[in-house]
Structure 1
Amino acid sequence: MSAVPNILSIAGSDPSGGAGIQADLKSIAACGGYGMAAITALTAQNTRGVTGVHIPPAEFLSAQLAAISEDVRVDAVKIGMLGTAGAIRAVTGWLRTLPRVPVVLDPVMVATSGDRLLAADADAALRALLRMVDVVTPNLAELAVLAGEPTAPSWERALTQARAVAAEYGVLVLAKGGHLADRRGGCPDALVDSRGVVLEVVADWANTRNTHGTGCSLSSALATLYARTGSWPDALRLGKAWLGRALADADALDVGSDAGHGPVHHFAGLWAGERPPSPAALVDTWWDAIAGVREDIDALAFVRGLKDGTLARADFEHYLRQDALYLRTYAQALSRASALAPDAGQQRFWASAAAGCLEEELQLHRTRLGSGPPPEPSATTAAYLNHLTASGRTYPVLVAAILPCFWLYQDTGSRLAAAHRDGHPYADWLAAYSSVEFDRATREAVAVVQKVALRAREDEVADMRRAFVESARHELLFFAQTEADGDPGGSGAAFGSPRWAVARAE
């Protein structure tokens, strides 16, 4: 697999540049590939709609495909609008001549208006082509046609249809929730095989009408990112994050009239100085890398005792004392992150978290522990603090080291919150774990670190990931220390900070 994969798009042309071949080539370039194109149709269209279509002879499409594959290595193929049975058969026949390459099919079958775009013979030919591809990316109306059912009224029904299509054709199906009527749970996409959901990714809805070419762009991004990573789940994670940025910044472009739907901003990240999407820079993969740490935290006697109320009061107070020590240096780390941050938004976020962290120490810990002299830091606490201090040399590494205290607290704390009940000895602490505000603050911290990682050099990304994993390991050790070990503490810093984040991190 080359450093820069060659990606072939087989699709129609959009002279306004927002969809079809033009969107594919932009998406491929933005995601780190070299784009090639075999054109299946010429359209007369703009952001308001299509006014004409010209289909060249299928023999000419075959000539384009042969010319490419006779000279250029093809690392992945994205297929979009084919239009006719002849074009579909030409692509099917050409694929049979190739060594096995990954293929993503965006089955252009149903217009946004609901009109069917394929004649009966073309529909049958497309279903035969389906058995030769790896991933199919239908919209909800196309998914329903493939499943032989009405359009899914809910996400659950869409997933059921996707599973049926995956089983029938032996493909992965990317179910897309962009046209769902119910938007309360965010915008979901899911890779589905014959057994069910392989990966589901949910993003916030983009507040823009400029969505022209979204399906074309995502499918070509998937092909490119799979060629770069060798993983369809990673390709979806990266592609969804990239498309989210392209949608969020779509209004920065000025393409088309107010009556139309403008294009997404394919190069928003690149123009802002970010690198093409990389699995190493994907923060979700860091989270996956500490799955064992998270399981070990849940299994700790301290965490189980805090959850069911059997934790000894002395152990809880030891934890609070060590946590108070931790919070002082953690607040300093947050303040340094604010000082190093490259823009005002990140500066404000880390500064407000630092101020809230000090407020937590003053208000919560002293209320429970009094104002006596602070204890000496345990060896475990000192090691964690030394790690945070050492990570402060560069902004990218520092924020990666800070993140586990947000994320592990939110993850573990959400399960502890479920144990809250009247009469629980630590009810006030458990109640704090169900904070909607802290959930939001954690999402913002993850988003900030993700943004930093996408702009970082490859060596910086590697250092960021190591710092993140090391902080997670320190969190586990912090949770695990007990008075009986001669290393007083009790829990992790992740349980020491519920209210500062609630109060300050918005």
Structure 2
Amino acid sequence: MSGTAAFASTEAAAWTGRAPRPPRVLSIAGSDPSGGAGIQADIKAISAHGGYAMAAIAALTAQNTQGVQGVHVPPAAFLTRQLESLSADIAIDAVKIGMLANASVMDAVGEWLAKTRPPVVVLDPVMVATSGDALMDADAREALLRLLGLAHLATPNLAELAVLAGEPPAATWEAALRQGKALAAAHGTAVLVKGGHLEGNECPDALLGPDGSVEVFAGPRVDTANTHGTGCSLSSALATLQARTGSWPASVRRAKAWLTGALRTADSLALGHGHGPLNHFHELWGSQAPSAGAFTRSLWEDVAPQREAIFALDFIKDLASGTLDARHFAYYLAQDAQYLNAYSRVLSRASALAPTEDEQRFWADGAQNCLAVELSLHRDWLSRHPLDVAQGPVTKHYVDHLQAVAFAGSYAEVAAAVLPCYWLYAEVGRVLHADYLKAGHPEGGHPGDDGGTEAGAHPYGEWLETYADDAFAEATARAVAIVDAAAARGSEQERARMRAAFIHSAQYEVDFFDAPRRHA
């Protein structure tokens, strides 16, 4: 199985949509009788993300929150019987592989994978438990490396990454990325490098493609000792989400947001005397509809760093002052025109999913506006500053994210994903237009017919006026209200997915404004 091909094809799979049934996700791992890790944690994580969980047990352990006291490995032939029995009867959408104790067990799993070719395979190379206990025979490394070539994504912690790379554990984030890149390239699979074992208040993760691509996901470190089963749970969540979304970046972002919540609420379980388990069902158990306006207010607070980052960009500062290089503005508009073409289809999808005629009309009008009004404005500008450019990397990633949500997510998730394009755009337009007027520029300061500007006119005044008009502000307020109402109707789990989609889009808005200086 080519990891490179799978990495590319799953990104594109968002266009095809997914069957309405829950994804059928198989965990191949060891059993943890305390319920915090292994098969038991996998079943919880799969279920928490809307999947139907199945399990083939590769090992039995005697363990609790304080450590592993014993491991029993059934014959590899019996694991093969479990796997063949399942695949002979049930269509499997995703496979998560956890603890495989020896080379014969790994080879058995590899032979089954080679025959069945599941569409999603996530390999969590469990070698060391949170407690520090070794869970794998020392001679199994080579067999595990062979198994990597049959996976689409590997999720090692830093200690496991070092073993696979044949190097000492990385002491820095840069060293971890270097090891992950080498592993991804050598075995043709994507690798999720996790920064949880590094020092500091931040806990970044990075999705490394076999083609050398890198996407970093920032996140705070959660202060808790209850981290038993973190790797098992994350990898199972990723397998389930990938079967639903078809996008590794979207799956990582959602799973990371869920895992952060599971860690933040883990102490409430008060289980055991060592490293306790995560709170896998924190979204379900904490489900309660927010009060009117509370959800979107919290979203706005969540993206405070992104809002601050936008106004700190040189592109925005130069746009406000009128000193922005015309080539950079033309690149921005050329990318925006391509983005809006895809964005209009996402808004049409929101219209198709909307529960009321009023909301259907709102999103349909937004889709039409993208094509009829905004694109005509961009074509007018680009006729004065011609620039023929291909779709940039930021534009592609933003569009891929929106399409993944639009064709695999719920109506509420789609509404949340498109909201930053309204809300952050309106905020940028409001602030820049106010500064534009404060600086003494008159309304209607438009470029001259020769491509220059009238004396004293702001070269980008027409654009600033268009995006600060009352109609756009009203549309933004309506979109915010729709998202708030959808959040009130949904479950806590759906609200968590809405939040992840919104924050993801907000970060892409930052990157989109910054792209002209990086790629023009």
1:89 aligns with 2:84: no
Q: Is the 8 A contact 2:130 2:228 kept in 1?
A: no
Name the aligned partner's letter for residue 202 of structure 1. Answer: A
| Cα-to-partner distance string for 1:282-320 (whole Å, 9 max, x where unaligned) | 979x99xx99xx79x965686452899xxxxxxxxxxxx
Q: Is the 8 A contact 2:131 2:275 kept in 1?
A: no
**1:187 matched to which residue of 2?**
203
| Cα-to-partner distance string for 1:183-233 (whole Å, 9 max, x where unaligned) | 14x011111134545221121111111110001000111101111100111
State the alpha-carbon separation in 2 of the partners of residues 151 and 83 from structure 1. Answer: 21
Q: Which of 41, 51, 70 lines up with 1:52 in the alignment?
A: 70
**1:162 matched to which residue of 2?**
180
Q: Is the 8 A contact 2:130 2:229 kept in 1?
A: no
1:15 partner SS: coil
**1:420 matched to which residue of 2?**
none
**2:492 matched to which residue of 1?**
none
The structural deviation recorded for 1:177 is 1.0
Q: Is the 8 A contact 1:198 1:233 kept in 2?
A: no
The structural deviation recorded for 1:37 is 0.2
**2:280 matched to which residue of 1?**
266
Name the aligned partner's letter for residue 20 of structure 1. Answer: G
The structural deviation recorded for 1:238 is 0.4
State the alpha-carbon separation in 1 of the partners of residues 53 and 43 from structure 2. Answer: 5
State the alpha-carbon separation in 2 of the partners of residues 131 and 46 from structure 1. Answer: 33
CA gap 1:17/1:274 in 2 versus in 1, 3 angstroms: farther
Name the aligned partner's letter for residue 223 of structure 2. Answer: N
1:50 partner SS: strand
Greater CA deviation, 8-17 or 97-106? 97-106
Name the aligned partner's letter for residue 101 of structure 2. Answer: G
CA gap 1:42/1:115 in 2 versus in 1, 3 angstroms: closer
| Cα-to-partner distance string for 1:339-377 (whole Å, 9 max, x where unaligned) | xxxxxxxxxxxxxxxxxxxxxxxxxxxxxxxxxxxxxxx
Identity of aligned residues (%): 51
**1:484 matched to which residue of 2?**
442
1:224 aligns with 2:240: yes
State the alpha-carbon separation in 1 of the partners of residues 206 and 415 from structure 2. Answer: 31
Q: Is the 8 A contact 1:190 1:201 kept in 2?
A: yes
TM alignment of 1:353-368, pairs within 5 A: none
The structural deviation recorded for 1:471 is 2.7
Greater CA deviation, 43-52 or 115-124? 115-124
The structural deviation recorded for 1:161 is 0.6
**1:469 matched to which residue of 2?**
421
Name the aligned partner's letter for residue 42 of structure 2. Answer: D
| Cα-to-partner distance string for 1:405-439 (whole Å, 9 max, x where unaligned) | xxxxxxxxxxxxxxxxxxxxxxxxxxxxxxxxxxx
**1:215 matched to which residue of 2?**
231
1:2 aligns with 2:16: no
TM-score by length of 2: 0.58
TM alignment of 1:3-402, pairs within 5 A: 3=20, 4-112=22-130, 117-180=135-198, 182-184=199-201, 186-194=202-210, 196=212, 198-257=214-273, 260-273=274-287, 299=315, 303-305=319-321
Name the aligned partner's letter for residue 269 of structure 2. Answer: L
2:241 partner SS: helix
1:95 partner SS: helix
State the alpha-carbon separation in 1 of the partners of residues 230 and 212 from structure 2. Answer: 25
State the alpha-carbon separation in 2 of the partners of residues 466 and 2 from structure 1. Answer: 23
Q: Is the 8 A contact 2:95 2:118 kept in 1?
A: no
**1:329 matched to which residue of 2?**
none
CA gap 1:473/1:87 in 2 versus in 1, 3 angstroms: same
Greater CA deviation, 60-69 or 469-478? 469-478
**2:401 matched to which residue of 1?**
none
TM alignment of 1:450-465, pairs within 5 A: 458-465=410-417
Name the aligned partner's letter for residue 234 of structure 2. Answer: L
CA gap 1:301/1:86 in 2 versus in 1, 3 angstroms: closer
State the alpha-carbon separation in 1 of the partners of residues 142 and 94 from structure 2. Answer: 24
State the alpha-carbon separation in 1 of the partners of residues 416 and 194 from structure 2. Answer: 32
Q: Is the 8 A contact 2:141 2:164 kept in 1?
A: no
RMSD after superposition: 3.7
State the alpha-carbon separation in 2 of the partners of residues 274 and 144 from structure 1. Answer: 43
| Cα-to-partner distance string for 1:50-75 (whole Å, 9 max, x where unaligned) | 11111111111011101111111100
CA gap 1:82/1:19 in 2 versus in 1, 3 angstroms: same
State the alpha-carbon separation in 2 of the partners of residues 139 and 300 from structure 1. Answer: 39
| Cα-to-partner distance string for 1:419-460 (whole Å, 9 max, x where unaligned) | xxxxxxxxxxxxxxxxxxxxxxxxxxxxxxxxxx9xxx9444
State the alpha-carbon separation in 1 of the partners of residues 121 and 173 from structure 2. Answer: 25
State the alpha-carbon separation in 2 of the partners of residues 190 and 244 from structure 1. Answer: 16
Name the aligned partner's letter for residue 232 of structure 2. Answer: C
Q: Is the 8 A contact 2:207 2:216 kept in 1?
A: yes
1:156 partner SS: helix
State the alpha-carbon separation in 1 of the partners of residues 122 and 43 from structure 2. Answer: 15
Q: Is the 8 A contact 1:298 1:304 kept in 2?
A: no
CA gap 1:307/1:18 in 2 versus in 1, 3 angstroms: farther
CA gap 1:465/1:179 in 2 versus in 1, 3 angstroms: closer
CA gap 1:111/1:471 in 2 versus in 1, 3 angstroms: closer
5+ long unaligned stretches in structure 2 = 1-17, 290-295, 325-357, 363-404, 446-457, 469-520
2:192 partner SS: strand
State the alpha-carbon separation in 2 of the partners of residues 115 and 265 from structure 1. Answer: 22
Name the aligned partner's letter for residue 122 of structure 1. Answer: A
The structural deviation recorded for 1:166 is 0.8
Q: Which has the higher contact order (CA 8 A, sep 6+)?
A: 2
The structural deviation recorded for 1:486 is 3.6
Residues paired across the two proteins, number: 336
CA gap 1:253/1:111 in 2 versus in 1, 3 angstroms: closer
| Cα-to-partner distance string for 1:74-100 (whole Å, 9 max, x where unaligned) | 001000001011111110111111144
